[in-house]
A and B are shown apart, each in its own frame.
Chain A
Amino acid sequence: NAGVMQNPRHLVRRRGQEARLRCSPMKGHSHVYWYRQLPEEGLKFMVYLQKENIIDESGMPKERFSAEFPKEGPSILRIQQVVRGDSAAYFCASSPSGDEQYFGPGTRLTVT
């Protein structure tokens, strides 16, 4: 049973471009969480999704950020018109039941 997969592992974007981060949960897991870790800071909750539904997006910036978890395929965290302040590590976690979370390796986004 493969762990949580995230890709790409490293992503470089110029200011104004779009960033798409993918998360494939563990097999059988229908709960996905996205976290952001800014340099020298701890992780911050962004959004919690179940298949085709956003359960809690209270940690998501109101503009430019969106997330989805379609019936088929990975969860996508999308950042439009990236700015330098978006540079961070983005971690995805999955859970079978909304309890214990299993983390992916993260995607390091660098905005130049």
Chain B
Amino acid sequence: KNEVEQSPQNLTAQEGEFITINCSYSVGISALHWLQQHPGGGIVSLFMLSSGKKKHGRLIATINIQEKHSSLHITASHPRDSAVYICAVSRSNYQLIWGAGTKLIIKP
């Protein structure tokens, strides 16, 4: 079993829909990261969380340390949100353990 599990693996939605991507982990962590990777593109760090909730524009990330679970939400989704969203956890100060990613497609 992978130490970081993401669901769903693939998600297709209509523009405007509320999107939720989930991440569960089975190890003790110091922080959890959400990252975005566009096709053929680089990686953008969206959030780093160690507790609670963070919001940036239409993106919201939450984490429940006791349940070892995090969610990434996108409100009012738009086709430009189409990307792979990756959850990764930090166990030490540096090494990240990566989830497999969720491929999101938003249709106009």
Contacts and interface: CB of A to CB of B under 8 A. Distances in A.
Contacts of A61: none
Interface residues on A, range: 20 to 34
Q: Is the interface of A mostly helix, strand, loop or mixed?
A: strand
A48 interface: yes
A42 B94 contact: no
Contacts of B43: 43, 91, 103, 105-106
B99 A101 contact: no
Given A45-B95, A45-B96, A56-B95, A103 B42 contact: yes
Contact of A103 (B31, B44, B100): B44
A55 B41 contact: no
Contact of A48 (B48, B86, B94, B99): B94
Contacts of A105: 41-43
B66 interface: no
A103 B94 contact: no
